[in-house]
Structure formats: structure tokens, C-alpha cells
Amino acid sequence: MAAEILSANGIAVSLYDRMPTAGRKFLLAGRGGLNLTHSEPFATFLTRYGTAAEQLRPILEAFPPAELIAWAEGLGQPAFVGSSGRVFPKSMKASPLLRAWLARLRAQGVQFHMRHEWRGWDDEGHLLFRTPGGAEVHARAGATILALGGGSWPKLGSDGGWMEILARKHVAVNPLRPSNCGFTIAWSDMVRRRFAGQPLKHVALAFGGRTIRGECVITEYGIEGGAVYALSAPLRDAIAAKGSAKLTVDLRPDISADELAKKLARPRRGQSLANFLRKAINLSSLETNLLREAYGANPDADSDVLAKRIKSVPLIVTAPQGIERAISTAGGVAFSALDENLMLRAMPGVYVAGEMIDWEARTGGYLLQACMATGVTAARGALRALT
């Protein structure tokens, strides 16, 4: 995005990438449909960025969701709003958009240098790259925009190796941490063996005063999925502070505890608890076993108590999954190290964008939107400096 802004304004742009082809993480983001952005009101949209919301406000205001949608449509990829408010290209793929985008960049004169790993600066202040054969490439630039990603999915190029390089230049960087990730739960062998890979649908997860409705998936190591990702930041931070966190699951969020208790008060007539719950409230085998996992082999048969337990199943999470498995990362260059144009205060003429900056957001279009918007802001800042 930064290359597009600059080249469209007549600036000669060289784009260096350590991977063999461009946009590999962009293609990964499109594997489930390429959620470009979200259609909710901007005030609500902004809250999805948590503690970084105010720092990101002017950046997102300068390139809001409507402009991102218009940009995609300008590349021949009309968008639509899904039932959840998320925005996707109608093709539901990243590859057509990426092909059109790269063609536009080349038409605007952007020069691509693939398989070039950035290693910092040489003694004369020129950019230093290393090729697969070990050769060093030195490049001089009027302005430099770094968009090297966080630390997730390192096989696609973003391994966080730049952290040490910038720290040596006295740039304030905060440790990279997993975000939008799964969490470890010490399941019994039975749950792990029988239910790994099965989804929990139409549930509500709660932690730290926040409740998220959606879906998640039981895994061999614990739990993952969209509803979990939305709570990943507070869960991760609570585990770091206390060693574990209690995630609560409401298995039937659309019905009150009192209504549930009435359904559970009917006679069982010799049915097993699992059959009774299946017939009375359509509780799945997985859900029944989660009750047993939390409350023992025979959860209390009293209808009022059982209803409350169905609406509040505690799951003890003990660790986030590793950063290499996370969808995104928190941490990176502190906002205090940047000016309003995302230029490094310690290094005039060097800008940063995307996940290199210390912000995080849940999935739902917020990640791509902020990556694109920071690219726009950095490019506009560089353009003003160059012209």
C-alpha cells in the first residue's frame, strides 16, 4: 500500500521482500475469504483496537473502511457486507485482488527485488540486504518504509528478526506476543480423544467482564476459534500475571437460566443424563462432556443448579499457543518511538507500518484495515518529506 501511494505520486519505489513472491501473508489472510474490513459504525470500529485505539484514530480516519472498500473495487474486486457486518470481496479470494494490485504497482514503475532479506544498515547508512547465495546488496534511499510484519507465521517471512536491529538503533520496541491465538487446556484423555476437532456453535464466551458470542473449536491442546481470539489479549495478559485464567462458556446463551431450568424440570423416566439433556435442550455429546469435565462425572441433577452450570461452564486456560501459530501479534515498535507520520523519532527518514507497530485487534477485518491504513500514513509522510 505504501508503494502504491508513493509510485502514484511519481516517486521511484523499490520494494524488497525476503520471500520468492510478494503478498504471501496477504494470501494466507484470504484463505478463509479475505475479510477486508468491517461495516460497523466508526466509533464502534475504533474500540476494537483496545489500548491503541486513540493512537490509531487519526490513521484510520485518514484511510477508513469506506476508502479500503473503494480501493478494492477500483482494482476490479467488488465487495459485499456479510451477515456479521464483515466486508469481503465477492470473489471471496485474495489472489485476484493481489494479481490486479501487483499489476498496478508494476505499471506505476515499482521495482520488485525478491529473496532479499533486510539486515539493517551498513556503515555508510545504506540499507543492507542478503540474498540466498549469501551476497550482500546495499541500497540507498531518500526514504525507507519498513513493513516487516510481526512474528506470527514466520515461514511466510515475518519472523520478528528486525526487533534486535531496531533496538540497537535505540528504537523503543516491546516484546512480540501472540494475539488471536488458541489456548492450552488440560483436557482429560477422553475429551482429547473423542472431541478434538469438534466445534462449539452458538455459544457465548466470557472473561474479564467481556462476553463474545460465536463459535470455537476443541483441539487436542485446548481451544481455538473466533470467539476465543476475540478474548485472546485479556486471557494472555491474565495468564502472564497469574499463571492461568478461567474462561466461562454459556452453552445456551439464547435462553435464560430460569427458562432452561423449566425445561430441565421435566421427568427423566430413567433416561441417562446425556440422553435427557439431548432431548430436553438439544445438548450435544461434546457439551455434556464439557459439563462433566468441569463439574464431575455426574453434574448436579437439580434443575436449577444444572441450568446455571450449563450457562456457566468454567474452562481453565494455562498458556497461549506459541507465536508461530498465532494469527497476529502484539508488541513491536512503541507508538512513543513514532511521530504522527509513523517516522522513527530516532531515525529521521525511516517509517514503519503494519504489524511492526505495537497494536493488536481481533479478527473481523480490523487487522487488514489497520495494516493498510498505517501503510497509507507512512507513505504520505514520506511523500511530504521527499517533495
Q: Are residues 240 and 341 in the same domain?
A: no
- Which range, of 63-72, 275-284, 297-306, averages the lowest pLDDT? 297-306
* Assigned C-alpha cell, 294: 468441569
Q: Per-residue pLDDT tens for 320-364? A: 999 998 999 999 999 999 999 999 999 999 999 999 999 999 999
Q: 55 by DSSP, 3-state: which?
A: helix
Q: Per-residue pLDDT tens for 125-134? A: 999 999 999 9
Structural domains in the chain (count):
2
C-alpha distances (whole Å) from 240 to each of 162, 205, 233, 333 are: 24, 20, 11, 21
Q: Dihedrals φ, ψ of 51, to 5°?
A: -70, -15
pTM of the model: 0.92
Q: Are residues 17 and 119 in the same domain?
A: yes
Give residue for cell 472431541.
195
| Mean per-residue pLDDT of the chain | 96
Per-residue pLDDT band for 247 (boundaries 50, 70, 90) equals very high
Q: Dihedrals φ, ψ of 253, to 5°?
A: -70, -15
Taking phi over 0 as left and psi of -120 to 50 as alpha, with beta for the rest, 88 belongs to beta
Please check the confidence at residue 299 and state whether its pLDDT lies above 80: no
Per-residue pLDDT band for 202 (boundaries 50, 70, 90) equals very high
What pLDDT does residue 288 have? Answer: 94
Distance separating alpha carbons of residues 110 and 126, to the nearest angstrom: 19
Q: Are residues 83 and 149 in the same domain?
A: yes
What pLDDT does residue 273 have? Answer: 86
Q: Are residues 97 and 132 in the same domain?
A: yes
- Which range, of 136-145, 201-210, 242-251, 295-304, averages the lowest pLDDT? 295-304
What pLDDT does residue 106 have? Answer: 98
Please check the confidence at residue 368 and state whether its pLDDT lies above 90: yes
Domain region containing 273: 183-320
Q: Which of 320, 354, 372 delimits the end of a domain?
A: 320
Q: Are residues 189 and 285 in the same domain?
A: yes
Please check the confidence at residue 228 and state whether its pLDDT lies above 80: yes
CATH classification at residue 37: 3.50.50.60
Across 54-76, average pLDDT = 98
Per-residue pLDDT band for 302 (boundaries 50, 70, 90) equals confident
Per-residue pLDDT band for 271 (boundaries 50, 70, 90) equals confident
Q: Are residues 217 and 80 in the same domain?
A: no
Q: Per-residue pLDDT tens for 10-32? A: 999 999 999 999 999 999 988 88
Please say whether the dihedral angle defined by the alpha carbons of residues 15, 158, 175 and 230, taken in this order, is positive or negative.
positive
Please check the confidence at residue 379 and state whether its pLDDT lies above 80: yes
What pLDDT does residue 296 have? Answer: 86
Q: Are residues 202 and 280 in the same domain?
A: yes
What pLDDT does residue 300 have? Answer: 66
Helix or strand run (H / E) with residue 276 = helix 273-281
Q: 384 by DSSP, 3-state: which?
A: helix
- Rounded to whole angstroms, the maximal C-alpha distance in the chain is 85
Give residue for cell 483436557.
187
Across 284-297, average pLDDT = 92
Q: Dihedrals φ, ψ of 94, to 5°?
A: -90, -30
Q: Are residues 254 and 148 in the same domain?
A: no
What pLDDT does residue 268 have? Answer: 82
Across 372-382, average pLDDT = 98
What pLDDT does residue 32 have? Answer: 80
Q: Are residues 313 and 371 in the same domain?
A: no
What pLDDT does residue 66 have? Answer: 98
Q: Which amino acid is at 378?
A: A
C-alpha distances (whole Å) from 364 to each of 58, 82, 226 are: 20, 11, 9
Q: Are residues 144 and 214 in the same domain?
A: no
| CA count, 13 A, side-chain hemisphere, 17 | 16
